[in-house]
Amino acid sequence: MQIIVVGLDHHTSPVEVRERLAFRPSQLPPAFEQLRGIRGGLIQEAAILSTCNRVEVYAVAADARAAQCAIVDFLHEFHHLEPHSVADALFAYTGPRAVEHLFSTACGLNSLVVGEPQIQTQVRAAAEAAATSKALGPALHALFRQAVEVGKRARTETSISRHAASVSHAGVELARRHIGTLADARVLLVGSGKMSELSAKNLLDNGARSITLVNRTVENAQLLADRWGGQALPFDLLPTALRETDVVLSSTSAPHTVIHAEHVREALADRPGRPLLLIDLAVPRDVDADVALVDGAHVYDIDDLDQVVSANVLRRRDEVGAVEAIVAEEMTRFLAWLSARAVVPTLNRLRAQADSIGRDELAKALRRLPGLDERDREVVELMVSGIVNKLLHQPTVRLKHEAAQGDAQAYTEALQFLFGLDGSVHGA
């Protein structure tokens, strides 16, 4: 039994290739059905990890090489592509390399932005989708479960995800640095596009409780406000909203500035002693340059945030070695479990054979001793059971030990041959 992964990601292919192989959620059930039907059950277990930056098919099969080729064919056939048209973009890993790849991916080491936390949720969702389609067997279930735990360890024990590495994250981090805690801060989002949505989520994740949204189309702002539990206001109330605000994050698509010095000056005049932090995420800028000259106003634009992001990406990369050490440790644990699991069928057959022989010999002995009372019969039965258990103890312990060291195959084959568990010897 081998674990295999075949796929592609942003390292091996551009987005126009990745999107051709991407799986929508509705496509996963038929995809798993097709995978299970390949060559009469060649693929025993399967899971698909499909995100904007990667498409990876994980599988368990006895014949790794045949399974890899079959998955490559499956990807082309399922997505109606010319045979081998994207084969050059695909990678294929088997055994320990496949395990290491998933663990590293779950930690964010293979992400476009190193350490990004979303991939951990995506790994968990991939396992759940496979389980729903009954494609996830014991090996992949254990692999994905441990991958999620490896990701948690990396984020808990290192700083791989602690420094903002996107503009929206950096804006929120900057706000938190300025005012200490977001729990009591009143936050104003200007604009209701994707950047505002990401900012709203990051703000809430960092403790913000009061979010107000201002947008030219108030219905769009209301949709976002309903989603995140905030308040929506029409755009003409922006100057009024500034008076009640501690932090402004602005990301409209306006071709000109929308927050002017007079707005900020009037807002601050009504609240002496309370500064106003304005974070401009828009290009072109939303906040007029003169705002920075207003006493009590602190303005940061996209270039300031890019500098924060660049510095933080370098800080995250400094953590890669520590995360790789966690991956190596967890990979050793998983491979030991997988190897031990591989010898279980042989040990079960050995146990079944020994128990059968013990029962047969016990029955013969009891027929020769018809006068035994119940207590004596129990003594004989316990003796036979004890002999079987003691004879099996050492081979069981030692084979499991060798499996944990990765050296069980030769011993397993020898045990199967010597005891006739491979079918070469019949009878007892």
The greatest distance separating any two alpha carbons of the chain, rounded to the nearest whole angstrom, comes to 110
Tell me how far apart the terminal alpha carbons of the chain are, to the nearest angstrom: 30
Angle between helices 138-157 and 320-368 (to 10 degrees): 140
pLDDT tens for each residue of 262-301: 999 999 998 888 899 998 888 788 999 999 999 999 998 8
Give the pLDDT confidence score for residue 427 in this predicted structure: 46
> Of 114, 143, 120, which is closest to residue 322 (Cα–Cα)?
114
The token duo for 152 is 């948690």
Task: Read off the DSSP letter of residue 2.
Answer: E
Tracing tokens 């350490």 back to the chain, one arrives at: 115
- Measured CA to CA, the distance from residue 195 to residue 204 in angstroms comes to 14
Cis peptide before 284 (omega within 30 of 0): yes
Question: Which residues of the chain are modeled with pLDDT < 50?
Answer: 425-428
221 closest CA partner among 212, 210, 232? 232
pLDDT the model gives residue 425:
47
State the sign of the Cα–Cα–Cα–Cα dihedral 387, 389, 392, 398: negative
pLDDT at res. 401? 73
Specify whether the CB–CB gap between 282 and 250 falls below 8 A: yes
In tens, the pLDDT along 150-179 reads 999 999 999 887 765 666 677 777 787 787
**52 is an active site residue:** yes
Neighbouring-strand partners of residue 279: 249, 300
> 250: helix, coil or strand?
strand
Q: Please report the pLDDT score of residue 428 as a whole number.
A: 41
What's the pLDDT score for residue 283? 78
Residue from 11, 33, 41, 52 carrying the catalytic annotation: 52
Please give the pLDDT value at position 170.
Answer: 75
CA 378 to chain centre: 54
pTM for the whole structure: 0.64
